[in-house]
């Protein structure tokens, strides 16, 4: 019996990939995620890093990565849908696939990508996961007036110039983190541009430095900033986001995010008759296809929503 077992075992070990599976036996999904974070986390955005950290708290993270089955992933997604939308659950599939790809190619761990692909196909077919809905929330002038009036009230506790930061986001289209990274030495006065470091990109962020054009309004806001630091707005990005959310809640402004100011800027530029290349020079988009959903605005009668707005920088 021992000889028969040994013979069968020898045949099993001769199959391609079996030795690697034995060597990596016991590697969990969570341990792969943790290694992925440690070795490549410097290139992750804040949301991706937070999502991966959260995924390590689920039962899925305790499973053997080499023995993982599509049914276990589908079960995980169904459990997630009790608290999140299909769009958010879809991110679990996306990041898990990224971890497995790196595990196979960079670490030699023979995980099976088809397990994730099969699970993803089932989840899509049964509408358990989906792409994010296109967000078109724009602030009204009334909402902006409410925010700006509150921001302009004198208060000894306020060290962040939220009034100018809100206006700058509105007229520059810069993201929350980008605003706090732009520097005085990145300004080009002759061409009215500024260098934005580590601009968000679908495949890369670190080292993705891009020079963007500043509208007259955004330029005017920069020119009135005191030189407190090498950065033009030397403030904490998270504090800006927290304060914006708290203000909206306190002022009764529902479902408005700081990022909506960027969408408002892009929409406003199209409404003024700007074409796609000019808008892209402000927004920083490298592909124009992303901007095509805004182009219907340019087909309407050109108008400037903020032409008579009292808070518009001159």
Euclidean distance between CA atoms 304 and 195, whole angstroms: 27
Q: Which of the 8 DSSP states describes residue 117? A: H
Q: Which residue has the higher pLDDT, 109 or 135?
A: 109
What is the model's pTM? 0.73
The reported pLDDT for the residue numbered 65 is 94
Chain center to CA of 163? 24
Is pLDDT above 80 for 206?
Answer: no
The answer to whether residues 76 and 90 touch, using CB atoms and an 8 Å cutoff, is no
Euclidean distance between CA atoms 51 and 47, whole angstroms: 6
What pLDDT, in 10s, does the model give residues 71-105?
999 999 999 999 999 999 999 999 999 999 999 99
**Domains of the chain, start order:** 18-125 (1.10.150), 141-298 (1.10.443.10)
What are the structure tokens assigned to 180, written together? 């706090």
What pLDDT, in 10s, does the model give residues 107-130?
989 999 999 999 999 999 999 998
- Which percentage of the chain shows pLDDT scores above 70? 89
| Count of H-run helices and E-run strands, the chain | 15, 3
Euclidean distance between CA atoms 39 and 95, whole angstroms: 15
The answer to whether residues 122 and 194 touch, using CB atoms and an 8 Å cutoff, is no
User: Quick count: other Cβ atoms within 10 Å of Cβ 171?
Assistant: 25
Which range (31-35, 42-46, 68-72, 147-151) has the least confidence? Answer: 42-46
The reported pLDDT for the residue numbered 25 is 73
The answer to whether residues 135 and 260 touch, using CB atoms and an 8 Å cutoff, is yes
Euclidean distance between CA atoms 74 and 116, whole angstroms: 9
Euclidean distance between CA atoms 231 and 155, whole angstroms: 23
Long-range CB contacts for residues 267-272, cutoff 8 Å, separation at least 24? 267/138, 267/294, 267/297, 268/304, 268/305, 268/306, 269/173, 269/215, 270/294, 270/295, 270/297, 270/298, 271/297, 271/298, 271/300, 271/302, 271/303, 271/304, 271/305, 272/302, 272/303, 272/304
Alpha helices in 61-197 (DSSP H): 70-80, 86-106, 113-125, 141-151, 162-172, 176-179
Q: What three-state secondary structure class fits 188? A: strand
Q: Which of the 8 DSSP states describes residue 248? A: H
């Amino acid at each position: 019996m021992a000889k028969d077992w040994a013979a069968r075992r020898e045949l099993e070990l001769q199959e391609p990939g079996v030795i690697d599976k034995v060597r990596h036996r016991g590697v969990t999904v969570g341990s792969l995620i943790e290694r992925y974070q440690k070795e490549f986390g410097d290139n992750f955005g804040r949301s991706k890093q937070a999502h991966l950290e959260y995924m390590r708290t689920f039962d899925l993270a305790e499973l053997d990565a080499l023995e993982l089955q599509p049914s276990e992933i589908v079960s995980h997604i169904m459990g997630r849908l009790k608290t999140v939308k299909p769009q958010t659950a879809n991110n679990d599939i996306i990041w898990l696939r990224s971890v497995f790809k790196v595990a196979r190619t960079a670490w030699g761990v023979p995980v099976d990508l088809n397990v994730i692909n099969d699970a993803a196909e089932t989840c899509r077919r049964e509408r358990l996961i989906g792409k994010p809905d296109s967000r078109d929330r724009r602030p009204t002038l009334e909402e902006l007036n409410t925010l700006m009036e509150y921001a302009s009230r004198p208060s000894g506790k306020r060290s962040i110039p939220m009034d100018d930061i809100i206006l700058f986001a509105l007229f520059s289209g810069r993201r929350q983190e980008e605003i706090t990274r732009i520097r005085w030495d990145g300004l080009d006065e002759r061409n009215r541009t500024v260098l934005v470091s580590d601009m968000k990109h679908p495949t890369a962020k670190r080292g993705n430095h891009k020079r963007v054009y500043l509208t007259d309004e955004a330029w005017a806001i920069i020119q009135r900033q005191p030189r407190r630091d090498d950065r033009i707005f030397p403030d904490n990005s998270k504090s800006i986001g927290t304060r914006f959310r708290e203000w909206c809640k306190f002022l009764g402004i529902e479902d408005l995010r700081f990022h909506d100011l960027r969408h408002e800027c892009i929409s406003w530029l199209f409404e003024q008759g700007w074409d796609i290349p000019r808008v892209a020079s402000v927004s920083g988009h490298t592909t124009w296809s992303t901007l095509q959903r805004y182009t219907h605005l340019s087909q309407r009668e050109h108008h400037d929503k903020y032409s008579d707005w009292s808070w518009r920088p001159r």
